Chains A and B, each alone.
Chain A
């Protein structure tokens, strides 16, 4: 493979990700503004985002195939299909972050903007958009990592004997791996790594600037002009955004209203309230029509007799889903244990943290599916020889862990760093023992961060299973596949041109995830907001 081709492919993939992140940010500003101004739209918007965020990218594949591949067709159709899948991987995280930022703008700043008649655009430009920068700058990292993870499954995918691909580094890596051309794989990974490091450093500097200038009372010095200067050696910059986010969240949450109380305080002008309602309803209906159209399209395209077959298979599919839930549970527990041990250690050892954290951050940003075939190639002989009964499970778990652990890890780490100094002094002052400290102070104090982190880890673990449970030609004609697993059913269904079973399984999964999200995740988040906001423990009039 030529170096120029690899470089261009890397640029194409990274540009794809950057453009999609920008689209997510801009659309998120408008949607979040409508959401905070219109309760009805807000309820619909947040429910949809929560549900969609929980559905792995591959779950959208049947819909994408029908709308973009068969509907639009051609190179443009495949390109948009790939973009849509990557967009799906990044957008929910950014949208939720922007919404939360808008919801937590201090009431006095909103009153100033209303008092002096800023107008809609004035409020957006001078208050809402700037206020969301710190949050965006911290959300951009997991979104970027997520996008790169999914670019491996989005740039090239097969349905039956037809393979769809767009020009990008994901496609090149898959092609080189399948052909056993290890040199090209290493070149691709090397150039991709370079691109990832450069973008992470740029994001890091943007984040530093955003938190310093737009965070509330952060101690970081404001640079008057944001001019990016490359300093590759300065690895600490990569980690700094998370440090700053910790400070930012501490400062921002201190003494401010929580989301629920702020919700009742938002005042809107009657005319905007009316127009906002109409716009909100229109967007919500567009969502519904889009999903409804796609579902009906899929259902109608499958013969009636085939559907009866799917219904008969449903108990077995639910069993396979149960097995996958066990896998997700194991990965989550391992990630959690890793997070609270290493996360706590790093949060309390600044020097070690400044070295290890950038490494973890870079690993997390580097897409696991890109290098996983090499991990597979290196470990397969050993595992097949020594643990033949669980070798596949171990590979799937490793892939899931590599693609997901950082959510709960960074969540916990940021949570520990966001604990106000007063409480840490109190712990030191009274020599509170380790277990009492963990059980009664650290874990409750980081509970909101842990819930968010665990939720993202669980969601991404599904993505890891989607990739790992059925991976044809992972390395030199070897196929990684589990015996039982719902994600394998979806992937194998697509590979065997059985779009119906893939769509039906995705639908079942979406329903279960939706119920799980409403019953479990949302209740935990409510509990976190109501009881476990450590910043509320500081009373400073």
Chain B
């Protein structure tokens, strides 16, 4: 399998950050949901994973973070095998999860408690809240915020843990189109901001427009048990616009990959 790109470029730049080799997962130990998954993420790269429902994309994300141990294979972060969950690989959930009894700043601080001084934790939490564009809402409770604001808090919390890798499981799926668009247009500059130590992001999404808008590279999953059936490099300048003809070419390419193959 080779990397495809519409302009002919297939190079990737930078160090390998997250790598998985021959990764497989099965609930029962016999029937695999996905198998022989090999993927890599490089420095300053946003990698997307797409695939039909049921291919185990969300499970793969959790296996990458070792929130679920793999049945087969290994995951490496900067060359070291990942054997337990770590804040260095932070997951942002599809269902936006914020603690209802904590203010925004407390929701972010929770990942720093007991690790650094409270004052310093508050400072970092406030900075991250500012970074995601919610300055002034530090003392608000989740129920006083919209879905988009809550997801920004969840992203701020993930960033506060100083992760190397951020795993995002359909982070915009529960937001309305306008809010999702607005967050999408900001997310790249938020996560790859010099303030962070973040090196790369793995995004799972069903929204092909979102994937083309955000990703540097896309892994396409398919088959049963699922595997990586294609790898596409999105070689478009940023900020990306849906008005660009190439944008639609990439969407079409992904769509074609995901369509069931006709058998003769």
Contacts and interface: CB of A to CB of B under 8 A. Distances in A.
B96 interface: yes
A433 B113 CA distance: 8
Given A429-B85, A536-B143, A444 B110 contact: no
Contact of B113 (A440, A444, A538): A440
Given A444-B101, A539-B147, A540-B174, A425 B87 contact: no
A536 B141 CA distance: 12
A297 B82 CA distance: 75
Contacts of A430: 87, 90, 110-111, 161
Contact of A539 (B89, B96, B110, B176): B96
B142 A541 contact: no
Nearest to A447: B101
A182 interface: no
Contact of A432 (B96, B102, B113, B174): B113
B95 A540 contact: yes
Interface string B69-88: 00000000000000001110
Binding site secondary structure of chain B:
loop
A420 B99 CA distance: 11
Contacts of B147: 539, 541
A423 B91 contact: no
Contacts of B97: 420, 422-423, 426, 537-539
B101 A429 contact: no
B114 A436 contact: yes
Contacts of B65: 429
B187 interface: no
Interface stretch (A322-330, A366-374, A527-535): A527-535
Interface string A498-541: 00000000000000000000000000000000011110111111
Nearest to A430: B111
A431 B89 CA distance: 11
Nearest to A436: B113
Interface in B139-185: 142-143, 147, 150-151, 161, 174-176
A425 B93 contact: yes
Given A537-B142, A539-B150, A540-B95, A432 B110 contact: yes
A428 interface: yes
Interface in A390-446: 420, 422-423, 425-426, 428-433, 435-436, 440-441, 444
A515 to B, nearest CB: 28
B175 A541 contact: yes
A45 to B, nearest CB: 29
B233 interface: no
B99 A441 contact: yes
Chain B, interface residues (CB within 8 Å), range: 20 to 34
Interface residues of A, number: 26
Given A425-B62, A429-B65, A440-B113, A537 B91 contact: no
B63 to A, nearest CB: 12
Contacts of B174: 539-541
B4 to A, nearest CB: 33
B102 A429 contact: no
Contacts of B114: 432-433, 435-436
B17 interface: no
Contacts of A433: 113-114
Contacts of A425: 62, 67, 85, 91, 93
Nearest to A420: B97
Contact of A538 (B86, B95, B110, B175): B95
B86 A431 contact: yes
Given A422-B93, A539-B174, A431 B98 contact: no
A532 B141 CA distance: 12
Nearest to A536: B100
Contacts of B142: 536-537, 539
Given A425-B91, A435-B114, A531 B62 contact: no
A422 to B, nearest CB: 4
A532 B100 contact: yes
A285 B90 CA distance: 59
Given A430-B111, A539-B150, A423 B67 contact: no
A415 to B, nearest CB: 14
Contact of B110 (A436, A536, A540): A436
A153 to B, nearest CB: 41
Contacts of B62: 425
Given A420-B97, A430-B110, A440 B85 contact: no
24 contacts: A420-B95, A422-B95, A425-B93, A426-B91, A429-B86, A429-B89, A429-B90, A432-B110, A444-B101, A531-B100, A531-B101, A533-B100, A534-B99, A536-B143, A537-B98, A538-B97, A539-B95, A539-B142, A539-B147, A539-B150, A539-B174, A540-B94, A540-B96, A541-B176
